[in-house]
Amino acid sequence: MQEAGFRNIEIRSVTKTFPVGSTGEFWDDMVKGSAPIQMMKKSLGKEMWREKEKLALAWLEETLPTLKRPLTSDAWLGLGVK
């Protein structure tokens, strides 16, 4: 950020908790809130996306019930003055 001309730089960690409800709701939230998943969805086309989504949902159906707590995601935010 300094090289881009920013000063008074501060890096903050932000953790978001995602409650795990139904598999479908969790998947929909992940698809809506993830830029990389959105990019993959657009690049695969509708038919291929449906195939990949079925695989993801099957894996989630097997995995999510074993979770003992909500999932978390961390982000690092850079703040500065230009």
Task: Give the mean pLDDT of 32-46.
Answer: 93
User: What pLDDT was estimated at residue 24?
Assistant: 87
Domain residue spans in the chain? Answer: 7-81
Residue 75: name the closest of 6, 11, 2 by CA: 11
Residues 55-66 pLDDT 10s: 999 998 888 777
| Lowest-pLDDT choice from 3-7, 29-33, 78-82 | 29-33
- Check residue 35 and give its pLDDT: 92
Least confident of 2-6, 21-25, 65-69: 65-69
